[in-house]
Every structure is written in structure tokens, then in C-alpha cells.
Amino acid sequence: MKSSVITFPGSNCDRDMDVALKKFGFKNKMVWHADAELPKSDLVVLPGGFSYGDYLRCGSMASKSKIMQSVINFANSGGMVMGICNGFQILVETGLVPGVLLRNKYLEFICKNVFVKINDKKNKYFKNVNNEVLELHIAHNEGNYFCTNDQLKEIEDNNQIAINYCDENGKIEEKFNPNGSIKNIAGIFNKEKNVLGMMPHPERMIDTSLSGEDGSLFFKNLINNLK
């Protein structure tokens, strides 16, 4: 399986993603934002970080990078595109997934482990994951997902919510919502479910010595689903 991780100016989880993808068997290539063409890929990842310093709206400058036209074409032709954290912010800026990411409700950066409930398994990202709940890690300042009521209805009708913040038993309540996201949304798909944007970092949960191993589960499953 071939993957590509895009490096934007200010990306800082690109190496971590490269390490994680390789650990679980992907042949990964790092792709520079100013390149025009994507290498042949089964999966494209927009990594976390602070592209362009987040000085304008998070992700907005990066969404206009040269490489992004190829990424958008790739996604529109059914290619698997995953945006993590800042990558999720870039995805909403391209319009590949609906909604926006606002500043966290308590106006503070949050770095901690969270539990998320998998809402939909009829997709290549979560198909065959045995767990209902994953323990993942977040580290962001703008992860407060928001969309209009009409958009929300459409998202729900199409089952586009990928994961919701919850407790360890999968209970979805406001008190387990770290950032004020509407409906505790931690990640969403496009309509076709080949594009996934999410705030949690699975690449930081691939080792028992680190925060935990549920990220390993996610990647192992992902590569099997793509085979």
C-alpha cells in the first residue's frame, strides 16, 4: 500500500505520521506542498501542525497550496484522503468535508487523551474495527466543530459523522466534549466516505510506552481495508 503525507510550511506532525504509516506497512512518501503532482497513492494524509502559522484562519492558506488541487482531484475521483488536526482544518477549508472548526470553547489549547465512539463502520477507515470506543489523543486550539442546522441535518442523514467524543463506555455527553464541538463531533466524512477529517491524532497512540495503542488498531485495520 502506498501513502503520501503532504508537508506544508508549518506542518509538525508530518514525521510522526510517516513513522506511524511505515510501522504498519505503508510505503510512505513525503510530498512537498509546492509540488504539482501527487505520487501514485492509496492514501493521502494531510498531517497536523500549524500550516502557515495558523495566522489567517487555520488551514485556509494551506488549502490553496499548489498540491491541493491534485489532492482535491484525487478525493473527487474516490481516492482516500485523511486530514488529522490541522489536516482536518485544511479539509474543511477546501470544502471536501462540510462545516468549520472554531476556537475551543474554553479558549485554551488542549493536549490530552480522549475517548471517541465510532459512529459509522460502513467505510474503509473503520470497517472491521472490533472496538466501539477508541482512546485517542488530541492536541489543538481550534477543534470546536460547527456547521449550520441544514448542514447538520444533511450530515446526519448521510451518516457522515465518523467519531464523537465520549467516555470510556461510549456514552456521548456534553461533559466529555473537550472543545465545544456540536454533537461532540470529533471527526466527519464527506458524503462518499473516502475523505475523513478528524481532530484526534492516531499516530500518537501507536505504542504502549506512549499514550496507548488504539492508534495501532486504527492503522492496522486501515491498511487491511485498503488491500
Nearest-angstrom CA–CA distance, 225 and 227: 6
Q: Is 188 helix (H, G, I), strand (E, B) or coil?
A: strand
**Cell of residue 94, nine digits:** 477546501
When binding is defined by CB under 8 A, the residue of 114, 206, 217, 222 that contacts another protein is 206
Q: Is 180 in the site for another protein (CB under 8 A)?
A: no
Minimum CB distance to another protein smaller for 67 or for 147: 67
User: Cell 489549547 belongs to which residue?
Assistant: 109
Active site includes 203?
Answer: yes
Active site includes 58?
Answer: no
Q: How far apart are CB 225 and another protein at their closest, in Å?
A: 23
Question: 159 with 122: CB under 8 angstroms?
Answer: yes
User: What amino acid is encoded at 139 in this protein?
Assistant: A
**What is the size of the binding site for another protein (CB under 8 A)?**
31
Identify the active-site residue in 85, 93, 137, 147. Answer: 85
In the range 47-66, which residues lie near another protein by CB under 8 A?
Answer: 48-50, 52-55
Q: Is 196 in the site for another protein (CB under 8 A)?
A: no
User: What amino acid is encoded at 101 in this protein?
Assistant: L
Give CA separation, 81 vs 60, 100, 103, 116, in Å: 17, 18, 24, 20
Nearest-angstrom CA–CA distance, 147 and 18: 31
In the range 134-163, which residues lie near another protein by CB under 8 A?
Answer: 137, 139, 141
Nearest-angstrom CA–CA distance, 197 and 188: 6
Question: 113 with 211: CB under 8 angstroms?
Answer: yes
Active site includes 156?
Answer: no
Minimum CB distance to another protein smaller for 22 or for 191: 22
Residues interacting with another protein, by CB under 8 A?
9-10, 12-13, 15-16, 19-20, 48-50, 52-55, 108-112, 137, 139, 141, 201, 203-204, 206-207, 209-211
What residues act catalytically? 85, 201, 203
